[in-house]
Amino acid sequence: MTAGRIAVLLPCYNEEAAIARTVEGFRAALPEATIYVYDNNSSDRTMAVAAAAGAVVRSERRQGKGAVVRRMFADIDADVYVMADGDATYEAGAAPRLVDLLVRDQLDMVVGTRVTEIAAAYRAGHQFGNKLLTGLLTRMFGQSFSDILTGYRVFSRRFVKSFPVLSAGFEIETEISIHALELAMPCAELPTAYYDRPEGSTSKLSTYADGWRILWTMVALYRSERPVTFFGAIAIVLLLVAALLAVPLAITYMHTGLVPRFPTAVLITGLTIVAVLCAFSGLILDTVTKGRREIKRLMYLQHPAPGE
């Protein structure tokens, strides 16, 4: 089997200090590939340096990594897509191994999990947050990857062209992982080296702000992909609260025949009605979700497997 046309996708924002090394690394690892650098409103010389290094340079005005990935996936036509960051932190030399695994086993995604002994490259706080979010994703969807936030991935054409990118920022990696899990795509992981940024290059990731955005994305996707469980849990909580409030009222009524706390009775009725509405909403949305998943699956199946 052959990989066919290979495209290396590098989203960039102010990576003048690192982009040339990144392009040169992937050029050496995958000489047959076309390397695309998508600039996201950089204020430095990222575009000029990337072009001088031999990359095809394009731009996306909507700010955010998710917006750049959406544009890249829509614009570029290839058989295999290698996506990494333009900060020279990922092991470009591992790209042939990732591509070979994808094609040989006819996979849709190979995840380059990060392995490093450099504390500055992968800070302890980021590692803890990654493990926390990965564990949460496993609990939500029943399975996961060992590194859901890595930006180093290789995709098949059928993955890229069936993926409706909705995220705007760094939560795009989480959305990619959930898309693969929901469509039960064949995927694999390979450990790859993770390096410190070159001097002059700074991280654009905000630990807390982006962490909350990723967490919110997971909850929102869980709501849309598992509506029965999501709204059913809300319904159960509301019914439990209503039952707890109803017990003293029922005891008082049995002893006196009166309902002295009428506002509480109204609250109990309201909670029960909302709980029933949540349960029915979950059932209705579950039908919509299954239909939407079937459409995405059909879009996915329109494209051949890698190597075919």
Q: Average pLDDT over the chain, rounded to whole?
A: 86
pLDDT, residue 203, reads 64
CB 230 within 8 A of CB 222: yes
* Residue 293 predicted with pLDDT over 60: yes
Q: What is the DSSP letter of 109?
A: E
Contacts of 183 (CB under 8 A, 6+ apart): 162, 293, 296, 297, 300
Residue 139: pLDDT over 80: no
Which residues are within 8 A (CB) of 240 and not within 5 positions of it... i.e. 6 or more apart? none
Mean pLDDT of 237-266: 85
List C-alpha distances in Å: 278 to 33, 105, 239, 266, 292. Answer: 50, 43, 11, 18, 20
* pLDDT, tens only, 160-180: 998 888 877 778 888 898 889
Torsion over CA of 208, 152, 5 and 96, rounded to 10 degrees? 170
> What three-state secondary structure class fits 289?
helix
Q: What is the pLDDT of residues 61-105, one digit of tens each?
A: 999 899 999 999 999 999 999 999 999 999 999 999 999 999 999
Can you tell me the distance from the alpha carbon of 287 to that of 239, in angstroms, rounded to the nearest whole number?
24
pTM of the predicted protein model: 0.78
Reduced to 3 states (helix: H, G, I; strand: E, B; else coil), residue 114 is strand
Residue 43 has pLDDT above 60, yes or no: yes
Cβ–Cβ < 8 Å for 227, 289:
yes
- Residue 77, SS3? coil
Q: Residue 112 in contact with residue 151, Cβ under 8 Å?
A: no
